[in-house]
Structure 1
């Protein structure tokens, strides 16, 4: 623990297939000989429904499957105490409780899948410490709940201290004196602290602070970053710390990975998670993820804070059940915001995936939004946005269309697709594309099989051919969405999920334990997501030979400084370059420069590749945008598509 019950020893059979209705944890906790008014058990995440007994005494029940369960134990005597925790299954939950149904999952495995802590405190004690950065003022707003469980009034002083997390340097402090709380009283104290030499948090510089809150009877420290993030309705762009910022990323479907046959204890192996979140994404130039249809253990967010990732945190709702209690949703959403709200990595709250509810945006989000002192934006699925600057999500799965090829991108402006069905004047988050999943074995999934068979024919049974095709098409689509500049975020689906023969989707790995990415995909997507990158805006499968052709090349600069380099445009067959031209390029910060370059196309027909290569003036590896073509003669067209028989 933490983990899921299929990790139990001795092993349980048929876990996740509802053979048993309940599962039990039992342990002994030893309370030190330490004065306290209150002991509190916190189970950070467990599913499905948590009931607690201490020394055969029922303590309470928490229905939430994705948020903290807090169980007050009262004042405990020193020595051993017997703790029992019971978990249910989806069928044991009341119908008014959301439980994370996902129609692309088959197993719902119970477990305590986050940390468990036991707090001892005097009175008044601290709860729900929240931090709201105010960059313009060089300050933070703080909200702290003080609670008196003592039977008599208590007077205390609240001391708040801010330090740089790495150095420990003191940069801010304040004291609130004369706070008196009656028996059972709760007060929210809201001071502002000025920060000396404020240092913003960003993916490029994930600088962190700590806030220590202390009363005469309790003390707690939280970590935070000075980071502001919003979507701008006028420009339809994301703004990070006041400047435009492009989100490049993917999705992590952790709850699907929970049913992966190779999952084991990997999600709780901190070295494995650090490589997953902090090391590998940099090789692909990813700065953001959506935690899709599932909230992660809290240490995942700690690692994301340190790595400088931008996280869209999505509550596990995919389709709305009108039997759900609005009060239960308000309770669970509040627990979610209060537990995760100090993480600078979280830049967007996501209420649901691809869902029309009519409830979340009108009766839930407006209420819980005020709990977040950082005032993050909300994604409301396929419903209308809940706030004036909230974005809309879009899932333009081009290859789900029966006859789609890259050639159709030539006349596609990259506008918001009809599937989002929401406002057309908002920033757009493309956080899913594009129907080209492969199992880790290289075989198509149940959803993508017809795509590969249409494009590759008999080669669809060849894992190497499938992998090369996926890498080529995903890179081309990524370049397309980035170059059109219509989406504030471009995040494909999916970096981590399950891999199984009967699965609808899959992820990017060929070895999940060692976290080895499929090499063709990793190479092409690293170029496609390069912050100083290039897109060859040419999508036709055929290229007439024996004449000159003009090509459009977009050079993208998603950094905060101007960039310069050289663009080389060439046509090649294998390693032989048939034609080549170069041009210098300079691109403003957060900008795009479009070039028109002409090449003489050789007359000899046959397969070829057109390549736009960008070599940065500052040095580093060149990046490429590639298009497979067939050079045609004057008599007619070559076969449609590329690479292979068709694409």
Structure 2
């Protein structure tokens, strides 16, 4: 979209001048090399935008570096491209320009060299574009060679550099990871244009930053025009009508200076940008045109006319309440598997269109770092709201030089994305201790058109139900602010529908709690869908502001996506995505039940011939009363309808209504389905969420169908959960011994030893916030050799002083599942930290007077 807009705004300015400024794209296939100093040869070809893991031929380097620790093995990669400005294009003579600004974004930093001249170095362009003045080195009327030294993770500075809580999940591949542009301009240029909609005042607040590179003062005339982006697309960009014109008058620019001006533009004729497939994401284009005696300049920004604010527990967009139907995009984790796709504009458009139109999402959280810019451009067009999250995870509040660097990066991040209507909330962190209150207050003043998720929402990540820690979905909110649960199910499947091995201490751990020690992939896919159905039904009925499992798109960690197969070929939904589509209906229905708990844990039976009451929730996300007939069918597994219950329902705007119905169970034992449906006046049907019932007199072996009650013994064609953990074969005797000893507990880790014994760690939760970790050692034939228990706590729950001392001593942040054991004796508290994937155990002893002592030891065996 942006490349098209460049042509359009130049055309809009053509009436003012024969030659205005222009912006050229330098995207394409660049050459690259890995070297400590500038190389003579660049043997690889790499796409820009993109990352080095896409290089061809394969350099043979693990650029993602998920298995490495503090050194990725190299410091720099080098990119180069050539471009020729000697040929005039579209009537422009490039030799008439006097200044040139190169904009690029590089992970993790960039030094620019043009025609052999070192321009400058930018350590803060990982998540935002750096701007390089290349005027002195550029050949405006000839060939040019551009070289960019891109720093690896080794050279990354705070706060761009991922800490140990995240880098093993994400890609540490360096690269030029966003669009590269070269702006050719005159002495006077427009550096930035901010459009802040103020619908309540029926105006736009337009702030423009101008630069005069010249050695003499300049007087220019300013004009702002607003036109309709949608008209352009519908009319092949012919005769674009101007909706609003505002004359800014004469603007004085001293020599070698930068000036900023703000204008109030009447906007009574603009239509609001509204989200979702039921919304209307109207976009406009603001053109700021400068005309002077020597040159003309134009800058264009696309924007949407919308505001957003919080009122009590509600979020209002353009004064109307909106509920978020949310999901997550872990862009930087997706780079480990889908780098080709997530930089492909056509693929991004297809992916986001399916998210909105097929599955009903209207809100995406960009998890742990700003994504490639096209994601936001396309979200603007499609009416997707975005919560843009910084990469902080388990970090503490920055101070000193770290705080100064954070302020630089945050200001650039917000400024460069301020015109995207899709971004409705900023978020400074994921699951950490970074507040940045003073900086956020400054940024709120700069951009009052967005929320800050950590402050304006009561934001929680609630995994307790999915891990069987709590018996039902949780609602720990007081109602004072909008409540969001944007992570809630710790069960992730890869593109084949298999348990994600990369995080088996999470995925296999979760499945162990539901008793599927042996399973078929279809069964864990159904368990995932059941958990999403239970959680989603609960939160939709409770009218929470946002709920989401995790995650619609990720990479080698967290299950690559909610789709099956190669995403480059097609977007085939997993079973859970069908569930989410039903839950995302603005006017929808679901049956109140905890399917997963009833089916796998409690083995709940419905007696044949008896009647059972069920509560069906009908919700309404719209701003008007909704009426329909609720029909709930009792069917067998072939879809044959056995009985139907009907009731007329009315649901107030933004409300949810329960409907009680009684169902007679069939006489024949077996699995049956309850299928709700809303039939609206006029005959349209809205399918609700299907649920299963087991109809039987007594628990019998045949009831194991569809994993009812889990599987504690192997069966033909099954997978072994314990072998998925251990990543090697285990004897049947060993597996049965582990299952018998740990049944009802969550398995955290299984470690086969060289002598044939196996170490197993499990966790149980006697009450909320209280966990007991048990370590057991089994002999090769399954005999229990040793067992010990200890109270445990997560890193994020440690006292501040202990957490900070641990990071200071170790130089790293334990990931979220690292177990921290606590023991107390005679006024001394000992914290023992065992981190995932490490053979080092960290020990901190604290005395009652506050004295702390740190030591580490190598984990040798179970008894140590």
What is the TM-score when the length of structure 2 is the normalising length? 0.67
The match for 2:719 is none
Alpha carbons of 1:125 and 1:114: their partners in 2 closer, same or farther (altered >3 Å)? same
Q: Is 1:2 equivalent to 2:65 in the alignment?
A: no
CA contact (8 A) 1:26 1:83 kept: yes
CA contact (8 A) 1:630 1:639 kept: no
- Give RMSD over aligned pairs: 2.6
Alpha carbons of 1:248 and 1:181: their partners in 2 closer, same or farther (altered >3 Å)? same
CA contact (8 A) 1:553 1:595 kept: yes
**1:610 Cα deviation from its structure 2 partner:** 3.3
Instruction: Give 1 or 2 for the bigger CA radius of gyration.
Output: 2
1: CA distance, partners of 2:469 / 2:131 = 53
1: CA distance, partners of 2:340 / 2:560 = 19
Q: Is 1:80 equivalent to 2:134 in the alignment?
A: no
The match for 1:99 is 161
The match for 1:231 is 310
2: CA distance, partners of 1:24 / 1:524 = 46
The match for 1:420 is none
The match for 2:82 is 28
CA contact (8 A) 1:436 1:448 kept: yes
CA contact (8 A) 1:570 1:599 kept: no
State the SS of the aligned residue for 1:258.
helix
**1:604 Cα deviation from its structure 2 partner:** 5.6
2: CA distance, partners of 1:104 / 1:424 = 37
**1:636 Cα deviation from its structure 2 partner:** 8.6
**1:327 Cα deviation from its structure 2 partner:** 1.5
Q: Is 1:441 equivalent to 2:518 in the alignment?
A: no
2: CA distance, partners of 1:638 / 1:133 = 65
The match for 1:488 is 545
2: CA distance, partners of 1:244 / 1:638 = 51
The match for 1:215 is 290
Greater relative contact order (CA < 8 Å, ≥ 6 in sequence)? 1
2: CA distance, partners of 1:160 / 1:646 = 67
CA contact (8 A) 1:124 1:150 kept: yes
Deviation readout 1:114-146 (Å, 9 max, x if unpaired)? 110011122331122111111133321111011
The match for 1:629 is 693
Q: Is 1:250 equivalent to 2:316 in the alignment?
A: no
Alpha carbons of 1:400 and 1:279: their partners in 2 closer, same or farther (altered >3 Å)? closer
Deviation readout 1:298-328 (Å, 9 max, x if unpaired)? 1221111111111111112212254762111
Alpha carbons of 1:210 and 1:351: their partners in 2 closer, same or farther (altered >3 Å)? same
Within a 5 Å distance, the mapping from 1:101-250 to structure 2 comes to: 101=163, 102-105=166-169, 107-167=171-231, 168-195=240-267, 197-203=269-275, 204-216=279-291, 217-232=296-311, 234=312, 236-250=313-327
2: CA distance, partners of 1:327 / 1:162 = 37
Moved more, 578-587 or 309-318: 578-587
State the SS of the aligned residue for 1:443.
coil
2: CA distance, partners of 1:632 / 1:10 = 61
Within a 5 Å distance, the mapping from 1:554-633 to structure 2 comes to: 554-574=617-637, 575-602=639-666, 606-631=670-695, 633=697
**1:400 Cα deviation from its structure 2 partner:** 4.9
CA contact (8 A) 2:541 2:619 kept: yes
1: CA distance, partners of 2:511 / 2:208 = 55
**1:606 Cα deviation from its structure 2 partner:** 4.7
The match for 1:524 is 579
Q: Is 1:11 equivalent to 2:58 in the alignment?
A: yes
2: CA distance, partners of 1:609 / 1:164 = 50
**1:267 Cα deviation from its structure 2 partner:** 1.7
**1:440 Cα deviation from its structure 2 partner:** 1.2
Alpha carbons of 1:391 and 1:454: their partners in 2 closer, same or farther (altered >3 Å)? closer
The match for 1:401 is 467
User: Which residue of the other structure, out of 530, 534, 537, is the alignment partner of 1:479?
Assistant: 537
Structure 1: gaps spanning 5 or more residues: 417-422
2: CA distance, partners of 1:473 / 1:402 = 11
CA contact (8 A) 1:631 1:638 kept: no
